[in-house]
Structure 1
Amino acid sequence: MRLRLLSDRQCKWLVYVTMVTAYLAVGYWLQVRNGFILGDALSRVQASESVLYSRDPHLAAIGFIFTPLTAMLEIPVMLLSPFFPDLTARGFAGSVMSAVFMAGAVVQIFATGSDRGLPRAYTVTITALFALNPMIVFYGSNGMSEAPFIFFMTWAVRRLILWMTDDDVHHLVAAGGIALGLAYLTRYDAVGTVAAAGLLVGATTYLRAREAPRIRRALLDLLLVSLPGAAAFVGWAATSWLITGDAFGQFSSQYGNSAILKQSGGAAATSFTGGLAFAAVCITLLAPTLLPIALWAGVARRHSPHRGVLAVPVLMYGAVLAFQTYTFATGATFPFLRFYIAAIPLASTLAMLAVPEGRLTEPKRRGRHAPPTAAAAPYRSRVGYVAVAMLAAVAVPVAARGMMSPHYAPQEYALGAVLSPDPDSVSPQKAVERRIVATFSTEREIAKYLDSLDLPDSSVITDTVYGFAVVVASENPQIFVVPSDPDFVELLNDPSAHGIKYLLSVPPSGRGASDALNQRYPTLYDTGSDVATLELEIPNDGDSQPDWRLYRVHDPVNPMA
Structure 2
Amino acid sequence: MIATWTHHRVKTLFFVTTFALYLGVGYWLQVRHGFIIGDALSRVAAAQSVLFSRDPHLAAIGFIFTPLTAVVQIPAIALNPWWPVITERAFAGSIMSAFFMAAAVVQILGMGTDRGLPRAYSMSITALFALNPMIIFYGSNGMSEAPFIFFMSWTVHRLMMWMINDDVHHLVVAGGIAMGLAYLTRYDAVACVAAAGLLVGGTTYARARENPRSRRALLDLLMVSLPGFAAFLGWAAVSWLITGEAFAQFTSQYGNTSILAQSGQTKPEFFDGLSFAAVSITLLAPTLLPLAGWAVAHRWGRPYWPTVLVPLVIYGAALAFQSYSYASGSTFGFLRFYIIAIPMAASLALLAVPDGVIMPTKRPGRHAPPALVDPAASFRGPRSRPAYVVVALVFAISLPVTAWGMGKSTYAPQEFALGAVLAPQPDSLTEQKAHEHRIANTFSTERRIAHYLDQLGLPDNSVLTDTVFGFAVVTATTRPRMFVIPSDPDFTSKLNDPVSGDIRYMLAAPPTGRGASDALNLRYPTLYETGADIATLELEIPNDGDGQPDWRLYRVNEAVPVS
Query: How big is the shift at 1:4?
Result: 9.8
Preserved CA contact (<8 Å) 2:462 2:482: yes
Q: Does 1:279 align with 2:277?
A: yes
Query: How big is the shift at 1:108?
Result: 0.4
Aligned to 1:366: 364
Deviation readout 1:288-311 (Å, 9 max, x if unpaired):
000111111111112311110011
Superposition map of 1:160-239 within 5 A: 160-239=159-238
Q: Does 1:396 align with 2:399?
A: yes
Deviation readout 1:37-74 (Å, 9 max, x if unpaired):
00000000011000000011000000100000000010
Query: How big is the shift at 1:378?
Result: 8.3
Q: Does 1:471 align with 2:474?
A: yes
Q: 1:518 to 1:203 in 2, by over 3 A?
A: same
Aligned to 1:498: 501
Q: 1:167 to 1:173 in 2, by over 3 A?
A: same
Query: How big is the shift at 1:148?
Result: 0.6
Percent of residue pairs bearing the same amino acid type: 67
Aligned to 1:288: 286
Query: How big is the shift at 1:372?
Result: 6.0
Q: Which moved more, 1:208-217 or 1:133-142?
A: 208-217
Kindly provide the amino acid, as one letter, of the partner of residue 324 in structure 1.
Q
Query: How big is the shift at 1:212?
Result: 1.1
Which of 488, 513, 517 is equivalent to 1:514?
Answer: 517
Distance 2:271 2:110 in 1: 38
Instruction: Find the residue that maps to 2:209 and give its secondary structure.
Output: coil
Aligned to 1:347: 345
Q: 1:379 to 1:513 in 2, by over 3 A?
A: closer
Unpaired segments ≥5 residues, structure 2 = none
Query: How big is the shift at 1:557?
Result: 3.9
Preserved CA contact (<8 Å) 2:358 2:372: no
Distance 1:91 1:232 in 2: 27
Kindly provide the amino acid, as one letter, of the partner of residue 163 in structure 1.
W
Aligned to 2:454: 451
Aligned to 1:432: 435
Q: 1:4 to 1:121 in 2, by over 3 A?
A: farther
Superposition map of 1:117-128 within 5 A: 117-128=116-127
Distance 2:305 2:327 in 1: 33
Q: Does 1:407 align with 2:410?
A: yes
Instruction: Find the residue that maps to 1:551 and give its secondary structure.
Output: strand
Q: With the length of structure 1 as denominator, give the TM-score of the two structures.
A: 0.97
Which of 315, 325, 328 is equivalent to 2:313?
Answer: 315
Instruction: Find the residue that maps to 2:416 and give its secondary structure.
Output: coil
Q: With the length of structure 2 as denominator, give the TM-score of the two structures.
A: 0.97
Distance 2:168 2:252 in 1: 40
Aligned to 1:554: 557
Kindly provide the amino acid, as one letter, of the partner of residue 366 in structure 1.
P
Instruction: Find the residue that maps to 2:358 and give its secondary structure.
Output: coil
Preserved CA contact (<8 Å) 1:125 1:389: yes
Distance 2:189 2:102 in 1: 20
Query: How big is the shift at 1:498?
Result: 1.0
Distance 1:200 1:374 in 2: 26
Query: How big is the shift at 1:379?
Result: 5.6
Q: Does 1:543 align with 2:542?
A: no
Distance 1:373 1:308 in 2: 20
Aligned to 1:333: 331
Aligned to 1:24: 23
Distance 2:227 2:299 in 1: 32
Distance 1:119 1:408 in 2: 37
Aligned to 2:248: 249
Kindly provide the amino acid, as one letter, of the partner of residue 66 in structure 1.
F
Aligned to 1:154: 153
Query: How big is the shift at 1:374?
Result: 11
Query: How big is the shift at 1:82?
Result: 1.1
Aligned to 2:486: 483
Query: How big is the shift at 1:410?
Result: 0.1
Query: How big is the shift at 1:214?
Result: 0.8
Deviation readout 1:483-515 (Å, 9 max, x if unpaired):
111111000000001100000000000000000
Preserved CA contact (<8 Å) 1:37 1:142: yes
Supply the RMSD in Å over aligned alpha carbons: 1.7
Query: How big is the shift at 1:169?
Result: 0.1
Kindly provide the amino acid, as one letter, of the partner of residue 262 in structure 1.
A
Distance 1:120 1:252 in 2: 49
Distance 1:299 1:167 in 2: 23
Distance 1:443 1:368 in 2: 61
Distance 1:471 1:486 in 2: 17
Instruction: Find the residue that maps to 2:552 and give its secondary structure.
Output: strand
Preserved CA contact (<8 Å) 1:269 1:335: no
Aligned to 2:260: 261
Kindly provide the amino acid, as one letter, of the partner of residue 504 in structure 1.
L
Instruction: Find the residue that maps to 1:498 and give its secondary structure.
Output: coil
Q: 1:269 to 1:115 in 2, by over 3 A?
A: farther
Kindly provide the amino acid, as one letter, of the partner of residue 269 in structure 2.
S
Q: Does 1:57 align with 2:60?
A: no
Preserved CA contact (<8 Å) 2:116 2:381: no
Q: Which moved more, 1:347-356 or 1:550-559?
A: 550-559
Distance 2:287 2:205 in 1: 34
Distance 1:378 1:391 in 2: 21
Q: Does 1:45 align with 2:66?
A: no
Kindly provide the amino acid, as one letter, of the partner of residue 308 in structure 1.
P
Instruction: Find the residue that maps to 2:73 and give its secondary structure.
Output: helix
Kindly provide the amino acid, as one letter, of the partner of residue 332 in structure 2.
F
Q: Which moved more, 1:151-160 or 1:361-370?
A: 361-370
Unpaired segments ≥5 residues, structure 1 = none
Instruction: Find the residue that maps to 2:34 and give its secondary structure.
Output: coil
Kindly provide the amino acid, as one letter, of the partner of residue 186 in structure 1.
T
Instruction: Find the residue that maps to 1:331 and give its secondary structure.
Output: coil
Preserved CA contact (<8 Å) 1:289 1:395: yes
Distance 1:62 1:270 in 2: 33
Distance 1:380 1:299 in 2: 23
Query: How big is the shift at 1:75?
Result: 0.5
Distance 1:131 1:235 in 2: 34
Preserved CA contact (<8 Å) 1:209 1:369: no
Preserved CA contact (<8 Å) 2:268 2:328: no
Query: How big is the shift at 1:357?
Result: 1.2
Distance 1:463 1:418 in 2: 30
Distance 2:421 2:141 in 1: 14
Distance 2:345 2:448 in 1: 44
